[in-house]
Amino acid sequence: MAFFGSSKKSKTIEAKPTEIQQKITPKVESSKDIIKTPSLDVSVLKNLIKVKASIEGGGSLIIGGYFEGDISIKNTVFIEKGAKVNATIKAKDIKISGDFEGTIYAANAVEITSSGKFQGLINSNKAFLGGAVEGVIKSANSIEITKSGLVKAKECKSKNIKIVGKLDGKVIASELLEITSGGAVNGTIITKGIKTEQGGSVVGNIQTYDASIHEDDNNDPTKLINITPQDMQKYAKKPQEEKEEVK
């Protein structure tokens, strides 16, 4: 390969991947999504494994099979397409491409990809919803419902909410609700400001946001939003004995 503006001959050096890197990097679903699929310092539960347990540790975790229990991980939890999880998860980032039921706490961000199905509670700093989502979504900083997102929300609450997909239910935006072309909201809307592009759809009752009425006791964006016991009772994991009930 020649480089213009230099009389020196260039040398071509072939970089060889290290054997160690090849051995420790698991094969995972390729992604160009918002939360990157973890590839280093990762524990993997394969798609043929069924696990009922409590998991706690550093690094990241990829789940490809069936899991039921509690998870507390320092970095990223990724639920692959085809996986089925019933759990309470606490992590920095949580990415869901499979089926999930339960409660998630993400100190940074939550992402439901286009293949993801979620039912339960989301409690995060930022949320990107691109799959089928049903339940309560509380995010301290922002929520974006992407083009493929279909959300049925008992409550969808954040400072800034952007809707490119579809949302049915109650929306609370303490700063701005933005509905882009093709986006649609149907339900109760409570917001300080609203921006609607041509082609966006808004159907329902619109109210002005009032912090004294609509704000939680915990208004610190650096902390996770408090989820009430009533929310937990509706969406908490089902006890094992209920699942094994005699028909």
Instruction: Kindly tell me if the per-residue pLDDT of 228 is higher than 70.
Output: no
Quick check: helix, strand or coil at residue 106?
A: strand
Rounded distance between C-alpha atoms, residue 95 and residue 212, angstroms? 34
Task: Encode pLDDT of 101-153 as tens digits.
Answer: 999 999 999 999 999 999 999 999 999 999 999 999 999 999 999 999 999 99
Query: DSSP letters along 152-169, please?
Result: EEEEEEEEEEEESSEEEE
Task: Encode pLDDT of 183-223 as tens digits.
Answer: 999 999 999 999 999 999 999 899 998 887 777 644 443 34
Phi/psi for 160 (5° steps) reads -125, 130
Confidence (pTM): 0.74
